Structure 1
Amino acid sequence: MNESINFSQIAKVAKKRADLAQETGNSHSSFYPAQFIYCCLPYRATDEKIWLRENGTWTLGITPGIVTNPDGSRESFIPSGKLARAALLYVTTEAVKTGSPRIELAKSYRGFLQDLGIQWNQRNAREAVRQLRAVLSMSIQLSFVTADGEGGNVVSEYDFRVGSGREIHFDANADIKERESYLLLSQEFYEAVVVGHAVPIVTEAWRALIQETKSPLALDIYLWLSSRLANLTSPVHITWDQLYSQFGSESQSLAEFKKSFRVALETVKEYYPGANVREMGTGQGKTKGFKGLVLYRSVPPLPPKN
């Protein structure tokens, strides 16, 4: 991708904003791991046993863990969709704000959904906990390729799990019981998001967007623009092929992806109206010239007006 992913720079900016949010008691910030912005989770349930996302020289690989249900049954799946993203934002935010890898869960599904910013109903409640547990049990491999300066390449790989343990108390109806339930993040993930690459996200805008849209793609675009636009020093050109590589689905053609991306982008702009993003090369056919998006430095996202 023409915009190189400089996680070190993202980390410095994100850390300053996170520290400022903690010092001022700013309740407007939630946090999301940068690695999962540039290499996204699946949009819908998949039967794949290994999920791979590539972005330039970076590759994110996910393998699912085993989830034990309240009735004793077990399943193994890669987290996906809106609720998986909400769960990832939730655990990252709690870790950053509390400074602890131990996260205390709300003592009811209703309270838990409120923490996630998701509208209450029984289906959402049970699926939210299911996706949360899948997020915690998944194993991650991040790899990237760099030149060694002598004509060769160096492949660097980092392996970790998101969670290291959890204890969730359920009643006979599979609701969360009025007892203490908690999650433990792995030390590797905790350090990656607290010390490293957690991107501040405007809580109110995220909650409004996740309740309004059915599109995980719109959520990913919002996260992406929130992490990039305010930090740009010059315009960045990104082709449709590059966007498709980052955000597309194998079940979509490039033409289908363009349509869905444009719709999702318009939705995102309702919640990030200051986003200065323009499409270029909208002509039909194989005319020469750049075709894609241009990102310009923009004001940071703000909470939506009531």
Structure 2
Amino acid sequence: MGASKIQQHIKLDLALIRDAIAIENEDAKSADALGYMARVLTQCTIPHRNPKTRFYKRTNGDLTITIADVNEVGMPYGSIPRLLLAWLTTEAVITKDRTIILGDSLNQFIRSLDMIPSGGRWGTATRLKDQMARLFGCTIGYKVENDSSLHLAQTKIAREVHLWWDPRQPEQTTVWNSHVMLDHDFFEEIIRSPVPVDMRALTALKRSPMALDIYIWLTYRMSYLSRRTEISWEQLQLQMGAGYGFDEHGRENFQKAFTKHLRIGAYGLQGCPGQPGARPPGSASQSHPHPKNPVAGLHLIDPSSIRSQVIHRSLLTGEVIHE
């Protein structure tokens, strides 16, 4: 690795540490950084990389989600659709309106996602508009099946989309605001049971789809645990191992990728009860996960040892201490 690459990695690590300290010192609500994510997409994630297929299936326990590219625009993948979904869900929860206004310029919207505007073939303007077409053009199928029951449902994220932006002129304002009308069923789902997240964490982790998935899933999972729970590598891979095979080679690559983001070794996880608390505006008594410090109380499981490691502080720094 060259000197410039090393310096770049050091800068990124320092930025993550600064973000982690800021999140540790001030919770999301106080920092005006409280956002939300669609719960169903924390249970089964979208692809990390371009699957180059028109159908994509994920299974987690009794739940199977199938994403279909019905408009032949490609399958959504990577960090951008995840940031889009968090932004859209947050807007829907706050406004209680199916119609989400995106603004009158593409660069304005790029900045609202905490991304840096850039042009060209691989610039953020081009990539964002492409991923929006992929995300809003797909259909999502749900199947919940066990020994005694079967439930099937289909939905889309968007009922109608109007984008008036030109990626070649991303700063240019338009006469009409670009907007998205969310599908009725999707809208009802996200305002009924959204997952609170810290938008500062999403911004800090946006370079990695897997890091985003880990953060969002841990925030959700830790909130409702009522007892110590062991989570096997197989369960983790079913949850967020998009693109990794289930043979020995695929499992090994998934473990390497997962532990790279948490920096915690390779045995598995054990969850202790979390701290429910954050509720979306207007909610009644239902409890939702608190977005601050989601990995407090997670333990690594080493079957060959009595000792375990404890994740301390937050996902962003991934610091490890020993019991």
TM-score normalised over the length of structure 2: 0.70
1:197-236 equivalence runs, <5 A: 197-210=193-206, 214-236=207-229
1:82 corresponds, among 52, 60, 79, to 79
Structure 1 residue 239, shift from structure 2 partner: 0.8
Distance of aligned partners of 1:294 and 1:243 in 2 relative to their CA distance in 1, 3 Å threshold:
farther
Larger helix share, 1 or 2? 1
Mapped pair 1:239 → 2:260:
no
Q: Report the residue type matching 2:56 in the other structure.
A: W
Partner of 1:166: 161
The partner residue of 1:157 within 149, 152, 157 is 152
Classify 1:217/1:282 alpha carbon distance in 2 versus 1 (closer, same or farther; 3 Å).
Answer: farther
Percent identical: 24
Distance change in 2, residues 1:225/1:184 (3 Å): same
| Mapped partners of 1:198, 1:61: distance in 2 | 20
Q: Give the alignment of 1:263-274 within 5 angstroms.
A: 263-266=260-263, 272=293
Is it true that 1:145 corresponds to 2:150 in the alignment? no
What CA distance in whole angstroms lies between the structure 2 residues aligned with 1:146 and 1:294? 35
Q: Deviation digits for residues 210-232 of structure 1, max 9, x if unmatched?
A: 2xxx3211110000011121332
CA contact (8 A) 1:237 1:294 kept: no
Q: Partner residue of 1:42? A: 47
Kindly indicate whether the alpha-carbon contact (under 8 Å) linking 2:294 and 2:314 is maintained by their aligned counterparts in 1.
no
Q: Say if 1:187 and 1:273 are closer, same or farther in 2 by CA, change over 3 A.
A: closer
- The alignment partner of 1:45 has SS state of coil
C-alpha separation in 1, matches of 2:298 and 2:188: 33
Name which of 166, 179, 184 aligns with 1:187.
184
Measured after TM superposition, the shift of residue 172 of structure 1 is: 8.2
* Native 8 Å contact 2:70 2:137 kept in 1: yes
Q: Find the residue that maps to 1:105 and give its secondary structure.
A: strand
- Mark the CA change 1:187 to 1:177 in structure 2 (over 3 Å): closer, same or farther: same
The match for 1:27 among 32, 42, 61 is 32
Name the count of aligned residue pairs: 252
| Conserved? CA contact 1:217–1:261, under 8 Å | yes
List gaps (5 residues or longer) in structure 2: 1-28, 265-291, 317-323
